A and B are shown apart, each in its own frame.
Chain A
């Protein structure tokens, strides 16, 4: 069921990423591809030097992809190639240029960033009290623990830079939901699930997952995923997540079949709850001194966002005494997306000498060193979790998490290496 590993496996049948990617880079290293490399580079430079204008930016990327794919088709490098191989080359090109242009093209307008922040805050409140009933999820399908898997798929969206890889996170999330709906309907001998069942669950999962920068991610996919590849089933499920975002953004008491007063009261106590939580984090942080700068930033962000909500309200509810910090996976996702935004993500990993080692590189002498590193890492992780007051995940779960994180890191590192070598051509 876990379809999104480091390489972001495609469950929707189009060409798969890792193969496509390496094939594309190999062909670009061929001497006869020199002109392509030149046009790609000059496109990237001229794009990067322009001020952001999403409509123009999107049109110019779409046009460039279209023209280049046309040129690939008639070039000797792809002589005798099948449609699929040409499609792969197009995928590779899209991934290459959008990975390069990510910092310039993603969330490039202040109003989009603002929309993201407001949406994230709104979901942080809504997720505390919206129930499956509020969204018309049928009783048969109200198995909340099953949706965790779908949430995890959606939360991976910020680990990737390429529009296709981000889209695959959404498709995987939808696939998990579909499978669970089908299994439940078969077990209960109910009618096969349609959109009446699917959309409410997707909205619920989106509320629970609350991936940071959701709005910008959707805009980015829509603008920079090659149009001819955002069709059919992919387009359908993409439209569903766009709908989910739009529904959540416009949520009112009425759209949840709630009484206006009750809705306001629930929003207020959700705010108070978050405020209580961030106050607790502040306290913990003072005790835990300076060793956790990342978490400090997170805490003060929560503080700021909650503060702005509190100002908007005339009456405040006293903070609830319950302690609940952001979950480890929230922190992990936030961290991962910050690493991706960095120009040189590699610098964060330099103190871990074995991170990029292959099994063949290791000698028996390394075992002791490796074990020490492992112990240090575990100790750091447990102390940080304790320090933040976060329940520590079971060894099995944390094992898979660190595995998939290592895969992602490896991938981002790989991209950089590949890029450097592609530039050398």
Chain B
């Protein structure tokens, strides 16, 4: 299947146009955030998530949940909490065309590659282009080079990834799900970069408000940034 040839159509007759209602809202103190994981199969997407959620890597330990969907709440220093709902995607080439069904409405996309595999790095760049074209415009993007513990087999220089991330205005970090290096930092940094609705009404559409609020919301829009 070509990567862009059979993208599911976006007309309303197709399934999969799930509304984004509830995907990244709550109140200003407690955010609920949809995070989608993209990357080649075998780069360790599910290991990163399990490390983050359960703080473990040992594959022989008793895992009682699947790692395809997990959620985890992070408390930040400013006493806000962010609940990540983490959607894993199948990384095999034949399933590439299905990805838009998963990243639709996501507030965060984490694109993972394996630092020992140049192919997985090119695949990551492919996903980033896709997300810039079809993802929501204010999506927070993170590029993650996993398996940093295997540095003796490294074939993607850190500098290449740093340059690429900088050029695309995204956050970059190298992690090791095996040693837990940088796993928590990854999610904390994402949480910090999330757009915070300081004024609740700014994200609300006029038709969802009763009349008395409409004037207020437009007034606030004209205020200088606070």
What is the interface of chain A, defined by CB distance below 8 A to chain B?
A: 54-55, 111, 135-136, 178, 181-182, 185-186, 189-200, 215, 218-219, 222, 227-228, 230-233, 235-240, 242-243, 245-247, 250, 252, 254-257
Contact = CB atoms under 8 A, between A and B. Distances in A.
A196 B92 contact: yes
Given A227-B21, A254-B1, 4 more contacts: A178-B65, A189-B59, A222-B17, A245-B15
Contacts of A243: 16, 95, 98, 101-102
B92 A239 contact: no
Given A218-B15, A227-B22, A178 B98 contact: no
A254 B5 CA distance: 12
Interface in B1-27: 1-2, 6, 8, 12-13, 15-19, 21-23
B47 A199 contact: no
A240 B102 CA distance: 8
Given A196-B90, A200-B92, A239 B18 contact: yes
Interface of B: 1-2, 6, 8, 12-13, 15-19, 21-23, 37, 41-42, 45-47, 49-50, 59-60, 62-69, 71, 85, 87-92, 94-95, 97-98, 101-102
A194 B16 contact: no
24 contacts: A55-B12, A182-B63, A186-B62, A189-B60, A192-B50, A194-B46, A196-B42, A197-B68, A198-B90, A199-B89, A199-B95, A218-B15, A227-B21, A227-B22, A228-B22, A230-B18, A231-B21, A236-B68, A236-B69, A239-B102, A246-B8, A247-B95, A247-B97, A250-B1
Chain A interface SS verdict (over half) = helix
Given A219-B15, A246-B98, A196 B46 contact: yes
A45 B2 CA distance: 47
Contacts of B66: 178, 181-182, 192-194, 198
B17 to A, nearest CB: 8
Nearest to B48: A194
A242 B15 contact: yes
Nearest to B90: A199
Contact of B22 (A181, A218, A231, A252): A231
B101 A195 contact: no
Contact of A196 (B60, B85, B87, B91): B91
Given A55-B12, A242-B16, A254-B1, A194 B68 contact: yes
A211 to B, nearest CB: 15
Contacts of B13: 54, 111
Contact of B21 (A194, A228, A242): A228
Nearest to B86: A236
Contacts of B97: 247, 250
A200 to B, nearest CB: 7
Contacts of B6: 250
Chain B interface SS verdict (over half) = loop
Nearest to A247: B98
Nearest to B69: A236
A63 to B, nearest CB: 12
A136 B59 CA distance: 21
B158 to A, nearest CB: 25
A215 B15 CA distance: 8
Q: In the A-B complex, list the 7 residue pairs whose CB atoms are closest, starting with the nearest.
A: A194-B46, A195-B88, A178-B66, A199-B90, A255-B1, A196-B41, A236-B69
B18 A222 contact: yes
Nearest to B99: A243
Given A55-B12, A242-B15, A245-B15, A192 B46 contact: yes
A200 B41 CA distance: 12
Contacts of A191: 46-47, 59
A40 to B, nearest CB: 23
Contacts of A190: 59
Contacts of B47: 191-192
A238 B91 CA distance: 18
A135 B41 CA distance: 13
A197 B37 CA distance: 14
Most chain B CB neighbours (cut-off 10 Å) among A196, A235, A254: A196
Nearest to B40: A196
Contacts of B92: 136, 196, 200
Given A186-B63, A198-B90, A228-B21, A239 B101 contact: yes
A75 B47 CA distance: 48
Most chain B CB neighbours (cut-off 10 Å) among A191, A192, A255: A192
B68 A198 contact: yes
Contacts of A235: 18
Contacts of A55: 12
B149 to A, nearest CB: 15
Nearest to B71: A232
B68 A195 contact: yes
Contacts of B68: 178, 193-195, 197-199, 236, 240
A197 B71 CA distance: 19
Nearest to B98: A243
Contacts of A197: 68
